[in-house]
Structure formats: C-alpha cells, structure tokens
Amino acid sequence: MSNEPERVALLTNPRSERVRSVVSLRRRAVRSRRGRFLVEGPHAVRELLTHVSSHVLELYLTAQARSAHPDLARRGGDARVSLYECTEQVLEVMGESQHPQGVVAVARPVDVSVDAALDAVGDGYAVILSHVRDPGNAGTVIRGADAFGAAAVLISSDSVDLYNPKVIRSTAGSVFHLPISVGAPVERILGRARQAGIALLAADGSGGTPLHHAELTGPHAWVLGNEAWGLPADVAGDCDHRVAVPIVGHAESLNLAMAATVCLHASCMRGRT
Amino acid sequence: MSNEPERVALLTNPRSERVRSVVSLRRRAVRSRRGRFLVEGPHAVRELLTHVSSHVLELYLTAQARSAHPDLARRGGDARVSLYECTEQVLEVMGESQHPQGVVAVARPVDVSVDAALDAVGDGYAVILSHVRDPGNAGTVIRGADAFGAAAVLISSDSVDLYNPKVIRSTAGSVFHLPISVGAPVERILGRARQAGIALLAADGSGGTPLHHAELTGPHAWVLGNEAWGLPADVAGDCDHRVAVPIVGHAESLNLAMAATVCLHASCMRGRT
C-alpha cells in the first residue's frame, strides 16, 4: 500500500516564507548554517529518494510533474517526506536551474567523514579533489567516479561546495551513489590516505609517468587539482607519483573533467583485457 | 622588424556602428550571412593568429591586454589585420563571454569540405558529431579530438553551429588545429566516409561491443550523438559497429564529452603498450 498522503499542501505564493526559505538554500552560508541543500529535477530527486531516502525532508512538485512521475510522491510518502504541490511559478522561483522540470527536494547533507570515505577504498581507488573551483567540473568528476567504480570521493576544504546546486545537478544523481567527504584540508586527506596505505597519484598535465605506464594495481587515489593551474607544488609533492595523460596534436592540455575521465577509466579497466 | 602599426584606431563608444557590427556576430544568422565569426580571449586569439593567420580580419584589444600580450598586436601586424584599441567598456560589450580578457578577434570561417576532412584521415581516425546541441560539449569534443590525435572533425548540419562563441571558447584553440567540416547532412558524411574505407563506430551507451574489445586498428570514425538521446536509430544503423564505454556503479550513463574523451583516448593509444 502506498503511503502517499491523500491531501498535500498547495503552494501558490512565490513570495511566501516557505518558498523564500527554499530559495535561500542557493546560498552556501545558508546551506551550511541550516544543514540543508537543494536537489532539482526528477532524475536526481529519484536517485535521492532511492539511495538516501532518510535524508530527504521536503519534496516540491508541480501538478504536472506529480502526474508525470507518480513514483516520486509515492517514494516521498514511503520516506515520510513533507510533500507540497506547487504552481509552475512557485517551482520556477525555487529552482536554481532554469529547468528544474517541476521537481525540487530539500535534504540533509549526505557527506561522510574522511575516515569513512577512505575505509571504503579497500583494494579499490578513490578520487581526491583539491582546489577544484568549477561546479560543473566537480560534478562531472563525481559522475565519472561513480561510472568508473571509484570507492569514494574526497573534496578538500579549498574546493567548491559539494552542495552548490550546480555541482549536485552535474553529478546526475551520482552524488547519492558513493561516499563523499567534504571540508577537510587537503593535507589532512593526503596524510590519512597515506596512513591507510593508499598510493597517491597526482594527475599532472605537465609531466610524470605516462598514464599507460602507471601502476594502478593496489589501493590508490587520484589527486586532481585546479582547472587553471593544477595542483599546488606542495600538494603534488605530497603525492607518491605524478601521472600524465599523454596528449598529441597542438592541444595545450585537457580540461580537468577530461583528464579525470581518462584516469578514472584507466583505474576501472585495470586487470581487464 | 615588427609590422605593428605605430598608431591604431581607438574605440571608445560602445554604441558605435563598428562595435554593434562585432556584437551582431553572436547571432548565427548574421555570422552565416556575413561569413565572419568571433574569437575571444588571448589564448584562443593567439592560436588563431598562429595557425590560420590569413583568416583573421580584425583584432580588438584593451590597452591593458595589448601591454600584457604584446605578441598579439605584433602577430596581428604581421598578418595585416586591422587593429583597434578599445576601452574596457567597449570590449566588455563585444565579448560574448563574461571574461574576454581584453581580446576579441573577427575572422573568416576556417571549416573545410567533407571530402577534405575525410582525406586527412589516412590511417588515422575522425570524429563525426550528429545532433550534438550543447556548445560546451561540441567544443570539448573538438579539444579532445585535437589532444588525442584525431585527423579531422565533421559536424553534421543538425548539430550546434561551430562558430557559436561558446563552441569556439570551449575548444580552447583546438578549433584552429585540425580540419573541421560543417553543414553537411549526417547521411552524406557517413556515405562519403564509407566510400573512403573508413569504419564507422557508433558510440552508444546502450550497448554494443565494449570499448576495450573494439577494433581500432584501421581508419575509423567515432560517430557521436545527442547529449540526451544519443544517435537516431537510422544513423546508428548506418554505422558498422556499436561501441559502448562499459560503466560500473549506479551511474546511469556518461555525459557525451566524457564518453567521447574515453573513446578518443582509446583510438590515440591503439598500438601503444
């Protein structure tokens, strides 16, 4: 039997306190103070409700989205989420995206501690982001980490906020699929990884071992740096190896998401022929 | 001896006819009618002046950019380009990007015919874009094609305009490094490629030969489809093989640029161990 409530509150006023409260979660300071973040669009909200339903607090749907995606209200009901039906206008105001497709959820943070993320590595591999500032790149790397079987992602305190709506959107739901730690200084992440016996591989466009010669058999972590200037020298120096994706042609470099995609794919394929 | 003119015209009025004429090149219809496109930022403009200098018509620089990048005005002078110094305000109005970094150029199209692009393939490989609509994705694929040694890129008539400023910007200069054809229907591109003995590989997330088992030794072309729904069935059916990048985890799929990056990297690495 479905737990979807028979009657749900209807929100029609885009200037109401509740709507403004949701909108305010676009701001990092508000997210951080209130311990809440936004998830937009039917696909991402479905992944949220499927994988971490206990973290979901509020679900906002237009009538059209509610009828197009009947599973969302049902899953929300099962998870005892507060459900609201909104006018198109209200939902447009709420969504950070231009196309939230009639669906917005408010959830509690899903990140884990550095130790919990590293414990998940086992014989696998992790991805560490240091000084990554572009939300789309961070989200795409998380999506790649999920697709290519990374055990965890660790985002340093000097990187973009995981809960930035653009990051969440770019992960296409992958943010709910694997343990992700946030907020620790990169030095602490590298130190703890080293203690855990995880080899640290600095992805470095400027040189080092070519990727196809890199040793990827044991537990390891890819350390990815800033979009424009890569890893700071001290962070790269803290790593065990520098690894480069060889490029040909006149291209100056790969962008961060492309380089990360190739490195993570290589880790995923190790041992396969 | 440098050919940089001693005196250059100074543009101070953001509403002048010349400035409005440059701004109008953001519109596809205007670009198409006038046979001109915009290039923004010091890096992309330097690549333009280095690789296809005969196509450059006008160069707009702020005083600050002119002094920060003295080579640009010098190369422009060598190429007999019309050079203009602009106020910051004029340059901001001209740039489609929020950060043109004080440099905008106007150039004639650089694309080549389908046959010229395919002739460049030899024993190498090409990239064919069909129904690719997102400018950032198209530009990133061109950047990857350059970095991973593709011989040519062919963009079908149903895809985004190569000369969209966002596409040009996303290529990071790679658009000037390899032959690119635009505007031909995908059926004609595939037909000509087949006649040229080029194996057609449809990159298809939904199935087919896993990438690591794909035959990449002879001349081939990756056929990449729409961001949301991939290749139309008839286009995929016109290809010789469907090839998938295997993914693990719960990720539903890779985005287009990620899948393309992995496929192009595989073509680049064939024969290497």
Residue A141's pLDDT is what? 96
Average of per-residue pLDDT across A10-29: 94
CB contact under 8 A, A249 and B174: yes
Best CATH choice for the domain B114-269 from the list 3.30.70.1230, 3.40.1280.10, 3.50.50.100, 3.40.50.720: 3.40.1280.10
Point out the residue among A140, A148, A173 whose CB comes nearest to the CB of B252.
A173
Task: Give the ipTM.
Answer: 0.88
Residue B240: closest CA among B220, B260, B211, B269: B220
Mean of all residue pLDDT scores within chain B: 92
Q: Is it the case that residue A273 has pLDDT exceeding 70?
A: no
Residue B5's pLDDT is what? 54
Average of per-residue pLDDT across B186-198: 97
Give contacts of B44 with chain A, Cβ < 8 Å.
none
Whether residue A253 lies within 8 A of chain B, CB to CB, comes out as yes
Q: In sequence order, what are the beta bridge partners of B18?
A: none
CA distance B269 to B25: 39
Q: Is it the case that residue A60 has pLDDT exceeding 70?
A: yes
Which segments of chain B belong to CATH 3.40.1280.10?
Answer: 114-269
Q: Hey, which residues 2-21 in chain A have their CB within 8 Å of chain B?
A: none
Mean of all residue pLDDT scores within chain A: 92
Cβ atoms within 10 A of the Cβ of B92, count? 16
CB contact under 8 A, A251 and B51: no
Q: What percent of chain B has pLDDT over 70?
A: 96
Tell me: the pLDDT tens digits for A113-148?
Answer: 999 999 999 999 999 999 999 999 999 999 999 999
CATH code that applies to domain B9-107: 3.30.1330.30
- Taking the CA of residue A98 and the nearest CA in chain B, the distance in Å comes to 15
Between B98 and B143, where is the model more confident?
A: B143
Tell me: the pLDDT tens digits for B76-92?
Answer: 999 999 999 999 999 99
Instruction: Determine which of B45, B52, B255, B267 to mutate to test the interface with A (most A C-beta atoms within 10 Å).
Output: B255
CB contact under 8 A, B262 and A257: no
| A37-40/A103-107 β-pairing | antiparallel
CB contact under 8 A, B245 and A262: no
Point out the residue among A146, A173, A248 whose CB comes nearest to the CB of B148.
A248
CA distance B44 to B139: 12
Q: What percent of chain A has pLDDT over 90?
A: 84
Average of per-residue pLDDT across B116-120: 98
CB contact under 8 A, A268 and B255: no
Q: Is it the case that residue B1 has pLDDT exceeding 50?
A: no
Reading the block at residue A32, the tokens are 């951080």
Residue B135: closest CA among B105, B108, B171: B171
- Taking the CA of residue A267 and the nearest CA in chain B, the distance in Å comes to 12
Residue B132: closest CA among B142, B118, B123: B142
Average of per-residue pLDDT across A67-72: 96
Tell me: the pLDDT tens digits for A215-267?
Answer: 999 999 999 999 888 899 999 999 999 999 988 877 777 889 999 999 999 99
Q: Is it the case that residue A1 has pLDDT exceeding 50?
A: no
Average of per-residue pLDDT across A10-28: 94
Whether residue B166 lies within 8 A of chain A, CB to CB, comes out as no
Which segments of chain A belong to CATH 3.30.1330.30?
Answer: 9-107
Instruction: Determine which of B148, B177, B248 to mutate to test the interface with A (most A C-beta atoms within 10 Å).
Output: B148
Tell me: the pLDDT tens digits for A171-193?
Answer: 999 999 999 999 999 999 999 99
Average of per-residue pLDDT across B232-257: 88
Give contacts of A268 with chain B, Cβ < 8 Å.
246, 248
